[in-house]
Amino acid sequence: MDACRDCPSCSFQTFWDTARQYMFTGVKQDNQNSLEKITGAKTNKIFYLYTFENGLKSHYRMNTNLFYAPDIMLPVFQLTDEESKHIVKVLRMKVGDNILFTDGKGMLYHCRIAEANPRGCFVEVLKGEKGTDRRDFFLQIAVAPTKNINRFEWFLEKATEIGIDRITPFISEHSERKILKAERLNRVITAAMKQSLKTFHPILDEAARFEELIRQPFEGEKFIAYIDKEVTLELFKAYHRGSNALVLIGPEGDFSPEEVEAAKSLGFVPVKLGISRLRTETAAVAACHTINLLNY
């Protein structure tokens, strides 16, 4: 295996194995010497990880924090009070420290703190580049929100980490939840995007009626996943790699027969997600993972 570009005196594999031990605690100055002894490398205060998750194959600082600024401006912009307080008070970052931002539209910005004010931190943009989590397919999952909102938020988090472009909640005949707090749900998505080092912020639609949703135009393959002994086609066999995909996931009580027939008449292909009966949020994550895995 090739040596790490930034650590020429150690093999990349040795470096990775050692660095992995500190993944959850970060690398601090006080353990710098011990790491250098183990790897035989002069690290100069920086450790790099090669991140394989979801195709994000770039060198990043260990314990990297990615921040979200949808309205980022060049060359200097001011952060929100919330982000400013987190950066200055919690992370204790100072003037001159480097920091990464994304606009949620696929761009990654390398920045430097110009003014460390917890009430309004100013950041200078050094350079911008396209994120490495771009995909050549579009994935939309339409799902009936669960009665327990925590389960729906879990789906939002995991789907964002895996990779998804658009999430459409819908209300159907058997839906048990019809009211959603979009602001709270978007915060869950944003946190997951930052945690997984994504540069694309998934779109969260307003809740739609099922009959309206299935009539919306979509350029790609359309599937409806539900439990029925007559449904034998697996999603992983029905989907064609590289194609845009829209997958419908029903509520706890599943789709009604009338809803299934309506969707089929509009081009949705009935599929199943394995042999097990899955919860709504589990089925939605399984569908998301299947499409991503087939495109890996």
DSSP code per residue over 170-204: EE-TT-S-----HHHHHHHHHHHHHHTT-SB--EE
pLDDT of residue 280: 97
Contact predicate 219/244, CB 8 Å: yes
Q: Binning pLDDT at 50, 70 and 90, where does residue 9 land?
A: very low
pLDDT of residue 217: 96
pLDDT of residue 19: 47
What CATH homologous superfamily does 66-130 map to? Hypothetical PUA domain-like; domain 1 (2.40.240.20)
What is the per-residue pLDDT across 102-158, written as a single tens digit (0 to 9) for each?
A: 999 999 999 999 999 999 999 999 999 999 899 999 999 999 999 999 999 999 999
Kindly state the DSSP code that residue 87 receives in the 8-state scheme: I
Q: Binning pLDDT at 50, 70 and 90, where does residue 257 land?
A: very high
Q: Which of 17-26, 32-41, 57-66, 82-91 has the highest mean pLDDT?
A: 82-91
**Spacing of C-alpha 61 from chain mean position:** 19
Share of the chain above pLDDT 70, in %: 79
Residue 10 has pLDDT above 90, yes or no: no
Element (H, E) at 271: strand 269-271
The CATH code for residues 139-294 is 3.40.1280.10
Mapped onto helix, strand or coil, the DSSP state of residue 269 is strand
- Between 51 and 245, where is the model more confident? 245
4 is written with which tokens? 């790490």
Contact predicate 176/206, CB 8 Å: no
Strand-strand pairing, 221-225 and 269-271: parallel
**Spacing of C-alpha 279 from chain mean position:** 21
Contact predicate 24/102, CB 8 Å: no
Q: Binning pLDDT at 50, 70 and 90, where does residue 64 land?
A: confident
Share of the chain above pLDDT 90, in %: 75
Residue range(s) occupied by CATH 3.40.1280.10 in the chain:
139-294
pLDDT of residue 25: 44
The per-residue pLDDT of the chain, averaged, comes to 84
In angstroms, the first-to-last Cα distance of the chain is 22
Four-residue CA torsion sign, 200, 154, 263, 173: negative
Kindly state the DSSP code that residue 11 receives in the 8-state scheme: B
Spatial distance between the Cα atoms of 72 and 110, rounded to a whole number of angstroms:
12
Residue with tokens 């599929």, as numbered in its chain: 271
What are phi and psi for residue 93, nearest 5 degrees?
A: -80, 150
Residue 250 has pLDDT above 70, yes or no: yes
What is the per-residue pLDDT across 190-242, written as a single tens digit (0 to 9) for each?
A: 999 999 999 999 999 999 999 999 999 999 999 999 999 999 999 999 999 99
Q: Average of pLDDT values for 84-95?
A: 93
Residue 12 has pLDDT above 90, yes or no: no
- Between 57 and 270, where is the model more confident? 270
Q: Binning pLDDT at 50, 70 and 90, where does residue 175 land?
A: very high
pLDDT of residue 46: 37
- Between 7 and 195, where is the model more confident? 195
Spatial distance between the Cα atoms of 188 and 75, rounded to a whole number of angstroms:
29
